Amino acid sequence: MERPLLHGTDGIRGSVGAAPPNDIDALNAIIEKREVNGRAFMLLGMAFAEVLNEDLGRRPKIVIGWDRRPGNAMLVSGLTDGLHQIGAEVIHGGLVATPGLHNSVIGTQSDAGLMVTASHNPSTDSGVKFFDARGRKSMPEFEQRVANIVWKIAEREENREPEPELCRPDKMVNAENGHRNTLAKRFEMMAADLAIEVESINWPEILGISELLLDSSGGAATEWFATGLTRRGIPFREVSDLDSPLNEDCGAGNLSPTDSWTWSQMQTHEHRLLRSLGDLYHNHPPNSGSLIGAALDGDGDRCLLIESTVNGAKVVDGDQMADDLMRAWDVNGIERITVAFSIETDLALTASMSRLRGNVVIHECAVGDRWLTKALEVESLEKSSWPKIIGAEDSGHLVLASPHPIIDDEWTLVGDGAATLISQLMARAVLNSMDAASAFKPGWKRRVSIHGTDRSRWTGEGPIADRIEEMIRKFFEERAINLKRKGIEGEKGLFLLRGDIDGIEVSFGIRNSGTEAKTSLSIRAKSEMTGLEEIATEITDLLRINLVP
């Protein structure tokens, strides 16, 4: 019998709370209160180790990394204790970005990795992401096995207390140093692959400004990334710091792909990067199209850019970043590119690949970089040069090939905000100086998050979903409608209505967030279409009435 699942879209997340006195309550706190605790993490450590024992037939070796959240010490101790109780060897990688933990799993030849983080969530939240021996995030089948075992452990009612000796690692490594070394290698390899002489480039001329502002969200890159880029001749200045809470009023997690602002709006904005840019440029704006800022999220696995417009600035999202990199590869004569896009990708992008001279193979997948990675694994990762593959989400997750930390001419797949930013700098250098294909013209897109929903009320099927489909069909009944429901692997509870209206490709999607108490509506169209704003409002109102307690 399948037990209640603890994992969401990307690991387990919740606010950090005190551990209940018994195991069942500790697990129920995750499900009922979206709250994580040290006792639950001890149980999870035991369950992770038991699953690996079953698969390997031997004692597993597991590396743990974490970000700068006040509750993480308790959670790391809980995981370490639980892993040791089942006989696992435990390595502590220290404070590290999520892509650095991926790198450390492979570099230490561990059987798995556990990253203690809640990504872009507030610093009062935390959680855990699981990586296998190849640095890939866990998939639903594995997560269900963990759930089945962890509930069985809890039902024994042993209610063990932590043992200080079991909370200590068997070994410690500096995972962040390994991540920095891999990034330096990626920088050189990207430049060589795109035939760029970094030292000879006039970066202020390429980018349109004298200095870019970087917002690392107070994460692991805060102290070294801007300095490293500046040392290589690309002028950057960090605006976040380690004195403020992680992700507080900063970073990619507080930006949305469709955001734009005037200079005056930016001057009074609570977001630190936007306010800094507004103060810097409101009197002397840079030319439209200049790259003026970049933001990572707290655990460093995604990136969004800020570009100047005629009256202010806008977000450059993952769709545009993927397009810019593909166009840069196209300039260099690449004949074949493989891309994976999620169900929230701009329809105008996927429909316009004929702009490129080479062949572009497209895979559509569920939301989440683990599904991007799975879709891209059809490609060979044994190459002497950088594999031309991209997985992209408009939220700023770009999955790219990264050199294997041990084996030459072999690559891994990882979403890394720092590497994404480096790839965009290189792409702009190429596109600025060469005859490149035109950029795609974005289609119409609207995403609405209904906060505070009881996610158990939304299944993607049943009366509410049927009512929404009926509402859409009735709203557009005087138009030529060709719409069908569609399913996507990995998107449990997804309502996806796809097709065309008056010959314009359109998509209506509704799904529960896997990380927060909210349900999201996403409407996309290949181009502008009357009525979409109105139907978005009607659907949002219906969802709020039916899903918010």
Tokens 């035939």, residue located: 195
492, 547 contact by CB (below 8 A): no
Question: Rounded to an integer, what distance in angstroms lies between the CA atom of residue 274 and that of residue 252?
Answer: 11
pLDDT at 489: 87
Where is 508: in which H helix or E strand?
strand 504-512
Residue 425 lies in a domain: no
Task: Give the residue-averaged pLDDT of 147-174.
Answer: 96
Same domain, 312 and 344: no
Q: What is the DSSP string of 301-366?
A: S-EEEEEE-SSEEEEE-HHHHHHHHHHHHHHTT--EEEEEEETTS-HHHHT-GGGSSSEEEEEEE-
- Pairwise CA distance, residues 263 & 256, whole Å: 17
Is residue 224 included in any domain, yes or no? Answer: yes
Q: Which residues pair with 64 in a beta bridge?
A: 92, 114
| Mean pLDDT computed over 384-392 | 95
CB atoms within 10 A of CB 335: 10
Q: Is the pLDDT of residue 92 over 70?
A: yes
Structural domain includes residue 161: yes
Which of these three, 263, 293, 316, is where a domain ends? 316
Q: How far apart are CA 370 and CA 224, in angstroms?
A: 27
Cα dist. 130→78, 116, 125, 390 in Å? 15, 9, 17, 22
167 in the same domain as 30: yes
User: What is the rounded average pLDDT of the residues 492-505?
Assistant: 94
Q: Which two tokens stand for residue 245?
A: 């809470």
307 and 340 co-located in one domain: no
Question: Do 278 and 371 fall into the same domain?
Answer: no
User: pLDDT tens-digit profile of 367-381?
Assistant: 889 999 999 998 999
Asked if residue 498 lies in contact with residue 526, where contact means CB atoms within 8 angstroms, the answer is no
Within a domain: residue 25?
A: yes
Domain containing 370 equals 331-416
436 assigned to some structural domain: no
Q: Are residues 117 and 86 in the same domain?
A: yes
Tell me the pLDDT band of 308, cut-offs 50, 70 and 90. very high
DSSP 229-252: HHHTT--EEE---SSSPTTTT-SG
pLDDT in tens, 342-367: 999 999 999 999 999 999 999 999 98
Q: Are residues 97 and 164 in the same domain?
A: yes
- Residue 152 scores a pLDDT above 90: yes
Domain CATH for 502: 3.30.310.50
CB 17 within 8 A of CB 37: yes
Res 287 pLDDT > 90: yes
- Please name the residue that has the structure tokens 């429901």: 485
Residue 535 has pLDDT above 80, yes or no: yes
Rounded Cα–Cα distance for residues 225 and 100 (Å): 13
Residue 323 falls within a domain, yes or no? no
CB 501 within 8 A of CB 422: no
The answer on 31 and 160 residing in a single domain is: yes
Count: domains in the chain: 4
| The domain boundary residue, chosen from 173, 197, 218 | 173
Residue spans of alpha helices (H) in 384-449: 417-433
Angle at 384 (CA atoms; ends 380, 387), nearest 5 degrees:
45
Note whether 159 and 73 are same-domain residues.
Answer: yes
**Does residue 34 have a pLDDT over 70?**
yes
Last residue of a domain, one of 289, 316, 343: 316
What's residue 22's pLDDT?
A: 96
What is the average per-residue pLDDT within 282-291? Answer: 95
In a domain, 433, yes or no: no
Q: Do 131 and 62 meet the contact criterion of CB atoms below 8 Å apart?
A: no
The angle subtended at Cα 394 by Cα 423 and Cα 34, nearest 5°, is 115
Give one DSSP letter per residue of 439-478, joined into a string: PP---EEEEEEEET--GGG--SSHHHHHHHHHHHHHHTTT
- Looking at 3-7, 93-97, 406-410, 503-507, which range is the least confident one? 3-7
Strand partners, 260: 314
Residue bearing tokens 């809470």: 245
Q: In this structure, what DSSP letter does residue 136 have? A: P
pLDDT of amino acid 182: 97
pLDDT at 376: 96
Do 367 and 410 have their domain in common? yes
Same domain, yes or no: 406 and 458:
no
DSSP code of residue 156: T
Q: Are residues 399 and 468 in the same domain?
A: no
Say if 3 falls within a structural domain: no
- Residues 336 and 298 grouped into a single domain: no
pLDDT, tens digit (0-9, with 9 covering 90-100), for 45-85: 999 999 999 999 999 999 999 999 999 999 999 999 999 99
CB 305 within 8 A of CB 291: yes
pTM: 0.94
Q: Say what percent of the chain tops pLDDT 70.
A: 99
From 500, 540, 545, select the one nearest 524 (Cα to Cα): 500
| Cβ atoms 78, 41 nearer than 8 A | yes
Mean pLDDT of the chain: 95
Give the pLDDT score at 5. 87
Model confidence over 309-321: pLDDT tens digits?
Answer: 999 999 999 999 9
Query: 341 and 365 in contact (C-beta within 8 Å)?
Result: yes
State pLDDT tens for residues 453-494. 998 899 999 999 999 999 999 999 999 999 999 988 888 889
Which CATH number belongs to the domain containing residue 117 in this structure?
3.40.120.10
pLDDT score, position 1? 66
